[in-house]
Each structure stands twice: as structure tokens, then as C-alpha cells.
Structure 1
Amino acid sequence: MTDLTLDALLALEHRGWDALCRSQGGAFYGELMTAEALMVLTNGMVLDRDAIAASLDDAPPWATYTLTDARAVPVGTDAAALVYRATATREGQAEPFVALMTSVYRRTGGRTRLALYQQTTIAH
């Protein structure tokens, strides 16, 4: 379970956020997500891997982001959840986007893959 450590999972999350900052999130997450993976977003949308891959490259890029309060939670032998707080801004956005994130990763086919991602908005 070496690559399901807090440091390894945080490195994957940073790679994902960096891809979102470059408007390359669709390609990144299309490759990282398992075939049956879902993303549950704060706006109530539930998107599968194909919908994510088709939509994220066209999303406005994030200008800045920080990830804090990260914790890894083992979920069996070959899986772990990463829970953290994200604060991100986009150009022209008055208020930052602040949410709690949960990413569930599992080892499959010799790789660490994203199986489920959920955002929970933090009320201001």
C-alpha cells in the first residue's frame, strides 16, 4: 500500500489541481479515474469518467489553489480516501471557492486510480 500514503495521494491531488490550472483536467482525470468512477460536485451534479473527460478541459482554469488539513483514511488493503480542504480562485472571481474534498483511490492493474471524488461546500 506504499503508494496510498498521505504523501503519495497528496501528490496525485496536486497533479490534478495543476492540470485544472492549465485547462487540462479532462485529459488528466480521464486517465486517472477508474472506468466506473464518479465525481459528485457541490452544484449537485454527478459525473462519470466520460463526462468529466469531456467537460473539464473546457472549464475556466483555476488561478490559485491551496490544499490544507489533509488526512489519509485506509479503506481496505488496496484503497484509501484522502480528505482535505481546498481553497481556489479563478480570474475575476470575487470570492474563493472553499470546500472539503474526498478522493477515494484504489490500486487496480498495478496503478493507483481515482474511484470516487466528492466536494462539500463550506458555508461562509
Structure 2
Amino acid sequence: MTIEELLALEHRGWKSLCEGTGADFYAQIMTPDAVMLLSHGVVLDRDAVLGSLNNAPPWDRYEIRDERLLRLTEDTAALVYTGHAFRAGEPEFLALMSSVYIRQNGAWRLVLYQQTPIPASKEPER
């Protein structure tokens, strides 16, 4: 496993959220028991994630910064980064993010995604 592999998946996910195809992408990549812990204090299982993405407005753009890979086992890893996302008419979304991936049948699958909001006054230095 390399950081490039998992970072490429993370970019594909964000691009799908910008294109309005997030439900399709995450239906393919999430494990059946996957969960997302979102910045506003909600925990969503796979079905709830897919349902919420069907009606979500697309993001205009995003940035991934300060990415790190944590190898948990040979077939499990966490990608940790600072994410910035932008939508017209909304405040910038800034959060620490982590995605835990497991390799199943040779493919990386998302099992856990977590967001921790960063107040604008506390933005990490580059």
C-alpha cells in the first residue's frame, strides 16, 4: 500500500461529491458495515450516507492538505488530512479528516470516515 493509492481514492470521492455522483461512488467503495462520523455530530451507516448524497448539493471545489498515511496492518490503513471544501453561498468547510480503508479481494474499501471541524481561527499552519 502507498499513500498515493489511498490519496487517489480520496480524490475520486471528493471529485464525485463535486460532480453530484457521490452516491454512486460511495456505493461502490464503502463496506456494508461502514460508517461516517460527520462534523455536525451525526453518525451515518452506509445506507444513510447513500441516501443523503442523493440530495446533497455538489461542492464547487476542494483541497486536501497535510496528508499522512498510517499503516494499521498489511491490509488496513488510515489516511489523515486537512480538508477544505467550498460551495457558493456557504462558509468554507474546514476539517481534519480520516478515512480508514481495508483491502478486500485486492481492492481498497472504505470502512470508516470521520470529520473534526477546525474553527477558522485555528487553521493549521502549512
Query: Do these two structures clear the TM 0.5 threshold for a shared fold by scoring above it?
Result: yes
Is 2:46 aligned against 1:55? Answer: no
CA distance in 2, matches of 1:22, 1:123: 27
Quick check: 1:33 aligned with 2:30? Answer: yes
Q: Provide the residue aligned with 1:113 in structure 2.
A: 109
The match for 1:21 is 18
Poorly superposed stretches of 4+, deviation over 2 Å: none
TM-score (norm 2): 0.92
Looking at structure 1, the residues matched to 98 and 72 of structure 2 have their Cα atoms a distance apart, in angstroms, of 13
2:7 match: 10
Q: Secondary structure at the match of 1:19?
A: helix
Unaligned runs of 5+ in 2: 121-126
For 2:9, what is the secondary structure of its paired residue?
helix
- In structure 1, give the amino acid aligned to 2:85: A
Partner residue of 1:88 out of 64, 77, 85: 85
Shift of 1:11: 0.4
Shift of 1:55: 1.3
The alpha carbon displacement at 1:110 in A equals: 2.1
| TM-score, reference length from structure 1 | 0.93
**Please, which of 36, 39, 43 is the counterpart of residue 42 of structure 1?**
39
State percent identity of aligned pairs.
Answer: 52
- What's 2:124 paired with? none
> What letter is aligned with 1:55?
S
The 2-side partners of 1:8 and 1:64 are apart by 21
Q: Deviations over 1:60-117 (max 9, x none)?
A: 1100110000000001121000000011110111x21000100000101221100100
Match 1:123 to one of 115, 119, 123: 119
Counting only pairs closer than 5 Å after superposition, residues 70-89 of structure 1 correspond to structure 2 as: 70-89=67-86
- SS of 1:59 mapped into structure 2: coil
Aligned residue pair count:
120
Secondary structure of 1:55's partner? Answer: helix
CA RMSD of aligned residues (A): 0.9
Following superposition, the deviation at residue 53 of structure 1 comes to: 1.1
Measure the CA separation in 2 of the matches of 1:106 and 1:39.
15
